[in-house]
Every structure is written in C-alpha cells, then in structure tokens.
Structure 1
C-alpha cells in the first residue's frame, strides 16, 4: 500500500505527463504542479528549521545570485517576459527536485523516494507502450510515432531504469519484482523509438556487466531472469528491427528524412554568429534569462519564428544565457557533486550516491543533444540527482 506522500509525488509526474500531451504551452501544467507541491511542502514544513542546513544555504545563495544577476541583465536587454518565465521555470524545476520532493516524502527517507520513482516508472512505461501500440495500429511513420503519439515523458525511462537497478541491488531478495520493472523500462524505451535512450540503456548494461558482472553471474535467480530475457530478445528483436518505423529511425540522417541533425548545425552556427556580433562581454556573462538567438536570414523554426530561445545542446544554451562564466560555475558545481559521490562510496549510503551519479550522468549526456539541462522535467531529475549527492540528505537517516 503506497503512502499518501508517494501518491502526491506520483500525481506530480502524471500531471506533467498529461501537460505534455494536452496543454499548450505544456509548461503551464508543469508550473501548476510545481506550485501546488511547493505550497504543500511549505505548509508541512512551516515549523521546521530545515532552512538552517549549511548546504541548503550555499545552494540557495548561489541560485539567488544567478537569478538576481540574470533578471537584471534580461531587463536591460529587454527580453520577452514569456521567455524569462521559461528560463526561471527551469531553475524552479531544479528546486522542486532538489528540495521540494525530498522534503515532502520525508527528509532522510531516500528508499521511499526511490520506491515511489520506481512506481512512476511503471506507469510511464505502460503509457509509452500503450501509445506506441496505438501508433502501430494507426500505421504512423517514425516522425508522427514520436511526435504525435508517444508522450515526451518516455525520456524519463533511463532514470527509472537506474532507480530499479539500485533497488534490486539493495534488496536482491526482490529480484523478480524489480527485474520485471527493469524489463518494462527497457521495453518502453524501445517502444518509444528513442535512439539516444536505447544507446544509454546499452551503455548502462555494458558498465554493469563490467563492474558487477561477477555478482550477476553468481546469483542463480538473476541468471534465470537474464536467460528468460535473452530468449525474448532473440525471438522478438529481429521482428522489431524489421518494422518500417524502426528502419526509418535506423537509416534516417540529416540529408534524408531526419532533419534534426541539420537543424542542430544551423542553431549552433547561429549562436556563434550572434556572439561574433555582440563582442566579448556577452561571451563572458551571456545575454541573460529570456535571451533568444536570431536565425540566419530566411530560416524559421518549426513554429515560424526567426529567433529561438533554446538550443538542443544545453551547454550552449547555458553559454547563451550566462556566458562562459556561468558554464564554468556549473562545471564547478558538478565537480563538487563528484567529490560528494567519492566520499559516499564507502558509506551505508553508497547505493543512493550511485543512483544519483548515474541520473546526473544521464542528464548531462542528454544535455548535449536533447535539451537535458533546459527542459523542466529533466532539470527536475537533475535536482533529484543533486539531492542524492548531498551530505545533508543523509543526516536525519544517519540519526535513525
């Protein structure tokens, strides 16, 4: 029986999932869910003193400085209010993942949080597979399969895959329970026709094979499950690969049916041209929240605009908004989290730190080509990863 705290978090993610399909812009649904949870957390913690946690003060102070400077710069550059709101929302999403969700579930109750995320993963996997099956019945091509049928939340499945692997490692007696959930996450990723996420899943599997392969092969129960999965893969994978939509995803390129790679080149070149026109100062500090990049003459985005607020490469987006200085500060923050992971590796919380490090790695990887560090829901997972890679997360748990 799920705790009421878990149901609230599940509802948060399902609202976001629905918003992706039914709201325009979808960030209205995100914002509603985030604000509702924030108010509930504020009411729950109205008498607590959690704000005095040292790390909380450091992170909030850094966020406050970034927001203050960026809003000032945005106003000076006369940026559009809607674009400023979108960029502030990404920072808000980080705060939700880093503080609001853990505080709602219960500070120090990390296992309950991971179990809740595992349950959400089941729901998202089922939803993804269901819509993919509808797309198959309707004869949709690869473009409409992913754009009109499969929800964007399928991109969360690698995070849930990591969560389920962590829970399986923590409770090997529940091999079947979490093993099926792992299989469901992988199946949902394949059904979504996401080339990037399939590669991420393969990379995760390869690393696990190299790092804990000896443990896997020595566990009879796990080996039975792996053998069963292998049979399923051998029987069904050739038939899946032969599907027209799969062939379209495998053979498409920038010059053929998939314009995405060509578009990435155009937006990257537009950014470099924009900085060439602006001089040295914007390269250092950026153009502030809400900044947009002018596209080359005669080029419009998919909505008919001649400017774009975000690039597919999130690191270049950070440079656009905050300059090379902002990118350096972000890199220092990542290094700080890596140091926390190193420190937690030999503690009872090692499996949680392992989970956080993998989720962070996936978000950073998605940030290269899939807006992983600017799309609100992925930034939320980045916040969850940072929570798992923070010493203050485990203070209360250590005192139990």
Structure 2
C-alpha cells in the first residue's frame, strides 16, 4: 500500500491515464491534475521556505527565464493560444517531475518516491493487460488494439521496469516482491504490442546481463525468478507470436509497409522546407512556443489540418521552437547530468543515480520517434530523472 504522502502522486498518474481515454483534449486532464497537485503542495508548504531550496537556484530560474522569453516571443508572433498552452504545458510537466512530486513525497525521501513509482507501475501494468485482454476478446486488429483499447500510459512501463530493478538491487531481501513487479511490467509491455518498448526491454535486459549479471546470478531468489521467467517465456512466446495482431505488427515493418514511417519522413521534410524558406535567425533561435509548420501541398494530418505543431522527433521539435541554439543548450544540460551521474555512481546514492540515468536514457530514446520530450507524461519522467541526477536531492536523504 502506498504511504499517505504518496496517494496524491498515485492519483496524479491515474488521472493522466484516465485523461488519455476520456477527456478531449487529454492535456486538459493533465493540466487539471498538475494544478491540483501544485496547489495542494503550496497549501501543505504554506508556512515553510521550500521555495528557497538550493536546487531551485539554477535549474528553476533558468527554466523560468526561458519560459518567460518564449511566451513573450510567442505572443509577439501571434501564435495560437492552444498551441502555446500545449508547449508551455510540456515545460510545466518537467517542473512537476523535477520539483513538485519530490517535494510532495518528501524532500530527500528518494526511497519512498521509488516505492511510489513501483506501486503506480503495478496499476498501469494491470490496466494495460486488462485492456489488451478485452481487445483480444473483441477480436480487435493491431491498429484498434493500440489506438482504441490499450491506454497510452503503457509507454511508461519501461520506466517502472527500471525502478523495480533498482529496488530489487537495493532491497534484495524483497527480491520476490519486485521480481513479480518486473514480470508485470514486461508482460504489460508485450500486451501493449509496442515494438519500441519491447526493444527497450530487450536492450535493458542485455545491458544488465553484461554489467551486473554476476550480481544477479549470485542471489538465489533472483536466480529462481529468472529461471521461472525463462520457462514462462519459452512456453508462451511462441503462442503470442502466432497471434494475428502480433503478425500484423511484425509484418508492418517489412518493405516500408508501416505508414507511420512514411508520416515521420513527411514531418521531417516539412520542417527542413520550413526553415529553407525563412531567414537565418529563426534557424538559430527558433519560431517560439506555439509555432507550427506547414505540410506539403495536399497532405493533411489525422485531424484534417494542413499544419502541425509537433513532430514525432522531439529534437526536431526543439529546433522548431527554440532553434539550433536551444538544442545546444539542451545538449549541454544533458552533459551536465552525465557529469553528475559519474560522481554519484561512486556514492551511497549510486542506485538512485543509476535509476535516473536509465530513465533519462529511455526518454531520450523515445524522443527520437515517439515525442518522448514533448508528450507531457514522458516529460514528467524526464523531470524525475533530472531530480535523481541532482546533488541537492540527497542533501537531506536519511534513507540511505
């Protein structure tokens, strides 16, 4: 059961999950949850001085400065209010993950935050599997399986997988508990039919075997779990692969038959055409929050629009909004976090830094093809990763 301080965080992610299915546009539900949690935190901390916490001095004010400048630039160029709201919300989502959630759970109580994320992972895994089972019973094809039945929150499962692996390594006496949760995350990913996330899980497993395989195999409980998991995979995987929907997903990769790849090419080409038609300055500083790019003549998106505000490749979206200069600043921020990880991995907090580095890596990977750095819920996890890769996070950590 989640601790009392964690229920609001659990509710936040469940509201987002529901918003993805029942609220249009879904970002309205996200924004409601963000505001509710932020106001609750403000009321809870109304007599404290948490706003003067050291970690707010650099990241917080730098982000605020960028946000203020970008909003001013967007208003000056008369961007659509809904597009500005969407872009500002992504920055707001980062701050929710970086500051609000950790402060709500308890500043420095990283272990409780990790356990809370593990609990959320159980809920999302079960929800994903249930909807996948419903899709199977209804005879849904691969398109409707993912687009109608399975919630978009299944994309969070690789993050929860990393969290549970870290908790298993941190508390080996509870190997059975977190072993089951790891199995749930993997089962949910397979049930979602997400090719990207399945590949991410395989990559994570391969790296773990190469880096900490000896540690895993030295634990009898972990070894038993791995053997049981291997037997289950050996028995069920052939049957899963034979399913029609799985064959549809596999076949869509062959001979450029996947329409999503063609759409990504159209997006990228539209961005390059957009910059080639303008002056040099926009390529350097971008077009600001709320900016859109025109699609080629005769091409419309799924909502019938001839312009789009985001690309599947988040790095190109950053170039659109903030230019090459913005992309360079983002790269420098990532380098800074890598340097923090290199120090923390030799500290008592190494397992938390390991978690943050993996979550960040997954978000960055999703940013290439799945809007990982622009879709609000994934940006929350990016903020959480940055929190885990910050020195100030552990200054009051008594839960070593």
TM-score bracket for this pair, using the shorter chain length: over 0.9
Query: Structure 1 residue runs of 4+, over 4 Å off?
Result: 254-257
> Are 1:251 and 2:266 counterparts?
no
Deviations 1:287-338 (A, max 9, x none): 0000001000000000000000000000000000000000001011111111
Between 59-68 and 351-360, report the one with greater CA deviation: 59-68
SS of match in other structure, 2:298: coil
Is 1:254–1:260's contact at 8 Å kept on the other side of the alignment? no
Q: How many residues align?
A: 400
> Are 1:165 and 2:168 counterparts?
no
The 5 A counterparts of 1:313-392 are 313-392=313-392
Structure 1 CA distance for aligned equivalents of residues 85 and 304 of structure 2: 21
Structure 2 CA distance for aligned equivalents of residues 379 and 234 of structure 1: 35
> Are 1:182 and 2:195 counterparts?
no
Between 48-57 and 268-277, report the one with greater CA deviation: 48-57
Structure 2 CA distance for aligned equivalents of residues 112 and 398 of structure 1: 11
- 2:12 paired residue number: 12
- 1:97 paired residue number: 97
Structure 2 CA distance for aligned equivalents of residues 239 and 344 of structure 1: 44
Between 255-264 and 337-346, report the one with greater CA deviation: 255-264
Is 2:90–2:379's contact at 8 Å kept on the other side of the alignment? yes
- 2:272 paired residue number: 272
Between 277-286 and 45-54, report the one with greater CA deviation: 45-54
> Structure 1 residue 256: deviation in Å?
6.0
Structure 2 CA distance for aligned equivalents of residues 332 and 47 of structure 1: 36
TM-score for the superposition, normalised by structure 1: 0.98
Q: What are the ranges of 5 or more consecutive residues in structure 1 without an aligned counterpart?
A: none
> Structure 1 residue 8: deviation in Å?
1.0
The 5 A counterparts of 1:192-271 are 192-253=192-253, 258-271=258-271
Is 1:337–1:386's contact at 8 Å kept on the other side of the alignment? yes
Deviations 1:142-173 (A, max 9, x none): 01100000000000000000000000000001
> Structure 1 residue 51: deviation in Å?
2.3
Structure 2 CA distance for aligned equivalents of residues 173 and 158 of structure 1: 23
> Structure 1 residue 41: deviation in Å?
0.8
- 1:306 paired residue number: 306
Deviations 1:212-270 (A, max 9, x none): 11111222221111111111001000000011110111110486653100000000000
Q: 1:96 to 1:206 in 2, by over 3 A?
A: same
Structure 2 CA distance for aligned equivalents of residues 155 and 94 of structure 1: 17
- 1:61 paired residue number: 61
> Structure 1 residue 398: deviation in Å?
5.1
> RMSD over aligned Cα, in angstroms?
1.2
Deviations 1:43-62 (A, max 9, x none): 11222222223331111221
> Structure 1 residue 76: deviation in Å?
2.1
TM-score for the superposition, normalised by structure 2: 0.98
Structure 1 CA distance for aligned equivalents of residues 42 and 11 of structure 2: 18
The 5 A counterparts of 1:2-81 are 2-81=2-81
Between 213-222 and 339-348, report the one with greater CA deviation: 213-222
Structure 2 CA distance for aligned equivalents of residues 276 and 382 of structure 1: 32
